[in-house]
Amino acid sequence: MTILSLAVLSLAGLFSGHASAMLTISERASALKELTAAAERGDFGAVKDRIKHLEDNSLAQDVGSRDDEGFTALMRAARAGHSDIVRLLLDKDADVHTLNFEKRSAL
């Protein structure tokens, strides 16, 4: 999911009354950026906190979203060798088949 996708989902949430409309597009993008950065540096606690934040705002699907560079948290954690974070993200349904802008997956 890209920033544009987040914008579309936020607008849809506004019209449907879902909780996802409670976070602005900027807040969703920031949460995703924090998630991917924490995954890359291997900060398990921060990854867990960001996932909980997304879940608390009915945005669990954002766990597998791509950041502005096209990478998911799963891609960043896998590339950096953080297997505990990879397992956590997989448990939260992060998709191993999502492709970045270079057509590469976490595999």
Q: Helix (H, G, I), strand (E, B), or coil: what is residue 106?
A: coil
Taking residues 28-44, report their average pLDDT. 92
In contact, 72 and 66? CB cutoff 8 Å: yes
Q: Helices 3-16 and 25-41, interaxial angle, to 10°?
A: 130
Q: Which two tokens stand for residue 79?
A: 């590339």
68-83 confidence digits (pLDDT tens): 889 999 999 999 999 9
pLDDT band at 16 (very low <50, low <70, confident <90, very high): very low
